[in-house]
Each structure stands twice: as C-alpha cells, then as structure tokens.
Amino acid sequence: MAIYEEDVAVYDSRRPNEPTYAHSRPTSEPRWVKWTLIGLGVGFMVIIIVLPLLIVFIEALRKGISVYLNSFADRNAQASIRLTLLVAAIAVPLNLIFGVCAAWAVAKYEFWGKSFLTTLIDLPFSISPVVSGMVYVLLFGAQGWFGPLLEAAHIQIIFAVPGIVLATIFVTFPFIARELIPLMQDQGSQDEEAALSLGATGWQTFWRVTLPNVKWGLLYGVLLCNARAMGEFGAVSVLSGKILGKTETMPLYIESLYNGNKFAAAFAVASLLAMLALVTLIIKTVLEFRYGDELAGTRKH
C-alpha cells in the first residue's frame, strides 16, 4: 500500500479517489510549551496544596515534640477525636447501605423517576453545607416543624450528637452511590441473571456475585466518604452548638483553639486530621493504581 501525503490529504492507492485527512497530534507543540504547562500545573499544586500541608506540620512541631504530644493530652482534644470517630463510624456504614441500595436501584432497574432519584443523590454536591445545616435546624430545632414533638418526647437532635450525625450523613451520602452507579451500569445484570437461573437466591446472588464485582469501587467510595465525614465543618458547625468537650468535632475544636490564640495546639490537632487525610489519599492512590479499570467502570473480560 502506497500512501501519498499532500498537505492534510492522504490518499490510499487502493482507493485513489477517496482521500482521508491526517490530523496533527494534540501533543506536537514545541518542547518548551510542554514543560511550561507541566511547570504551571506542578507549581499551582505545590502552592495551593503541598505548601499549606507542610506549614501545618511545621507549625505543629515548632515548639517541640513534647508540646505537640501534650496537645492531645487535653480532655477536650480527646473528646473531639472520639466524637469525630464516632460520627464517622455511624455515618459511613449508613451511607454504605444507602449507596449500595441506590446504586442497585439505578443500575439494575428501569422505573419512573429514575433520573430524579439520580439528581437527588447529587444534591449535596450543589448545596452549601451551611444551608443543609440550617434546614435541619428548621426541621428539628425548638421552633422547627418537629421541635415540639421532639421536646415532648425528651429527644434532642439539634446541638447534640444526633444532629452532627445527620449533617454528616447528608453531606457524605453521594460518594458511595456515585462511585457504584457507573460501575454497576457498565457491568450490567448478566451475571446476576445467570446466578438466578442456576438456582441461587437473591441474597446468595448479592453476596457471591454482585458484591465481589464491585468490591474495589465500594472500598474507594467508602474511603472518600470517610475522609469527608471526618473533615466536615460547615453543616456540623451549624448543628453542633460548639459545646466544648461535648459537640465539637476535630475541625470545630481546631477553630476554637485558633480563635483562642492556642496556635500550637490548633496545628497539632490539624496535623492529626491531615495525617488521616494522607492515609486516605495513599490507600486511594494504591486502589487507583492496582484496580484502575474496575474503578473507572471498565470490566476486563
């Protein structure tokens, strides 16, 4: 086969009257353009992300390791850590159940209102966390819709742990569902249909077919959900009442310390939160490297 190139037209000797057109590669710019763009991207990441993260650890250890460790000996610091872990331990499993159910419904069934359900799942991404916190105050506060009923039953949601859990669930529930929906849609329902045709029950099909097929995507979503749950500030700030030692999570406690000019303790607790985020990032990177095809929703046959 002989190919002749004239300007942008390419002629195939087998089809001399049917020219095709060659396009230049999008990465054929001069080398200096390539390195300039890479430098700008890396520089931006260093200034916006890496440098602030380094400053957190530098400031946390500025007065020595003893001061750093003593910051965690304070009972209010320990209470904030326990509350953060408790809220994440409640919110993440509930969102896991919701995410799997929502993804199953959207990916496996066709029903009226499916697109609306998908939109609702994405709603927390577009609403300010502060606004979501205010909504719960209007619902469950003393002057809210359900406030008198809750007060009569001696149930406190606002300015208590249940309110913090509700706020955290709201801002984090899209993560697992949005990770699983495209993955389940790409996989289809052939495996489940085959298992059912061979006599498997619904639960057997779920545990032995569906769950193994989405396990890495599910773990990825859980990691993102957990990271957001531990670091949430806006919605929790509205609902917690910021009661020291009782309703202050780690982000709220850091703000309290900083406003009280206790900078060493504030950066110490912030460094712990940053380390939790870094651990999440490392696990997330490992999952992307080893199971990138499955996480992207592409199935290997």
Identify the CA nearest to 279 among candidates 209, 212, 231: 231
Domain with CATH 1.10.3720.10 in the chain: 73-294
Q: What is the share, in percent, of the chain residues with pLDDT greater than 90? A: 24
Model pLDDT, residue 81: 93
- For residue 10, give the H/E element and its range: strand 9-12
The winner for highest mean pLDDT among 41-50, 79-88, 115-124 is 79-88
pLDDT at residue 273 is higher than 80: yes
pLDDT at residue 73 is higher than 70: yes
Q: If you average pLDDT over residues 219-228, what whole number do you get?
A: 89
pLDDT at residue 272 is higher than 70: yes
Find the angle CA(63)-CA(65)-CA(71) to the nearest 5 degrees: 80
Q: What is the mean pLDDT of the chain?
A: 83
Q: What is the share, in percent, of the chain residues with pLDDT greater than 70? A: 87
Model pLDDT, residue 18: 52
Model pLDDT, residue 50: 87
Q: Which pTM does this prediction carry?
A: 0.79
Sequence-distant contacts of 25-29: CB under 8 A, at least 24 apart: none
Identify the CA nearest to 170 among candidates 94, 246, 222, 284: 94
Express each pLDDT in 24-41 by its tens digit.
Answer: 555 667 788 888 888 998
Q: How far apart are CA 293 and CA 279, in angstroms?
A: 22
Q: If you average pLDDT over residues 250-269, what whole number do you get?
A: 91
pLDDT at residue 290 is higher than 70: yes
CATH topology of domain 73-294: MetI-like fold (1.10.3720)
Token pair 């870094």 is at which residue? Answer: 278
Model pLDDT, residue 266: 92
Model pLDDT, residue 26: 58
The winner for highest mean pLDDT among 13-17, 89-93, 127-131, 228-232 is 89-93
| Bigger pLDDT: 266 vs 21 | 266
Identify the CA nearest to 167 among candidates 222, 81, 101, 231: 231
Q: Which of 63-67, 119-123, 202-206 has the lowest mean pLDDT?
A: 202-206
Q: How far apart are CA 149 and CA 140, in angstroms?
A: 9
| Bigger pLDDT: 51 vs 11 | 51
Q: If you average pLDDT over residues 269-274, what whole number do you get?
A: 91
pLDDT confidence bin for 80, thresholds 50/70/90: very high
